[in-house]
Structure 1
């Protein structure tokens, strides 16, 4: 198996589940792909996540032969807008203040590909509601959380300090972290990639 991702969180989730795999990041230009897909209004957030996950998995799969390749992607949607990862700490600050007191959705896709083609795909949606945040709290949070927030579409990591931002979370914990692990494991068993 190959994980087509540089995400430390996805790697840790698969390692924690006892899987043996290598990692190889896709060389596709994700920013250009997001622009080509069109992030405003015309494409559903779940479709954006799946298209990106498929592209990454199929790209790596075409390079590694018969290995089963796992690709994933996550997009955040709020008030009809789709978000990628923040570009700067100021962008992260603005995002958190904009999400303060509101609900948003995380659309998380996972794909399994082999021989350059997708054999299975799944997308999960979680809804997260932030509590009302003061600008002072957001500043303290970002100072404590550091640059790690730049690797998350929501500028938070619920497995650490980011949990303090929320009043309600509805959805699968693994999907929120970036990988719908239970459906993925089931698919890998059905494909006889791992033992059942």
Structure 2
């Protein structure tokens, strides 16, 4: 049984649906400190480095176990957006995204002890429709505070699809983890039947 170094409901749901047995142990990690050490990297590289760091943080306490870490980050018009810190902050994100293409970078890593056994990143491009102030308030009435835990201020498994005209990329990337790659790596590592 692997360990998922995350408290993300969508990542847990993906693994459950795929039939992967796991135990969830959220990583305790200063993400900004990790990012400071890798300044100048691309958004995908940052998401991948954070995935590795999360997995390593948990693997250090669970020797011999495979630990899966994952991270997602959003970039729009060259600007990075973290999880919204308040309802007003989420509204500001949505106003900025309106009519633009949001890039969602998702990554995952599998670590055992001090070794990263596998890591990968994926990209989805989400074309945000023009959002009215009325819609933004309606959306936040329904989705806040849950979207406060989500990069991009949306949950694709909830009302998030109402934000978009088009999505390019696989559904697992949009949900926050490149699941097909994870499953392939788990098969190669002998954790799943091939």
Task: Give the equivalent residue in structure 2 for 1:22.
Answer: 23
Deviating runs (4+, > 6 A) in structure 1?
none
Shift of residue 34, structure 1, vs aligned partner: 3.7
Q: Cα offset for 1:95?
A: 0.3
Deviation at 1:37, TM superposition (A): 4.1
Distance 2:187 2:80 in 1: 33
The whole-number CA distance in structure 1 between the counterparts of 2:168 and 2:5 is: 27
Offset from partner CA, 1:84-126 (integer Å, 9 cap, x none): 1111111100000100000010000000000122110010000
Assess if the C-alpha contact under 8 Å between 1:60 and 1:116 holds in 2: no
Deviation of 1:165 after TM superposition, in Å, equals 0.8
Deviations 1:43-98 (A, max 9, x none): 21001101111100111112101111000000101111122111111110000010
TM-score by structure 2 length?
Answer: 0.95
Matching residue of 1:13:
14
**Structure 2: gaps (5+ residues):** none
> 3-state DSSP class of the match of 2:69?
strand
Q: Which runs of 5+ in 1 are unaligned?
A: none
Q: CA RMSD in A?
A: 1.2
Contact 1:61 1:117 survives alignment (8 Å): no
Give the TM-score normalised by the residue count of structure 1: 0.94
Distance 2:33 2:42 in 1: 18
Of 89, 92, 113, the residue aligned with 2:90 is 92
Separation (CA, whole Å) in 2 of partners of 1:118 and 1:36: 18
Contact 2:34/2:53 (<8 A) preserved = no
Q: Within 5 A, what are the aligned runs for 1:53-64?
A: 53-64=51-62
Find the counterpart in structure 2 of residue 80 from structure 1: 78
2:21 is paired with a residue of what secondary structure?
Answer: coil
Q: How many residues align?
A: 193
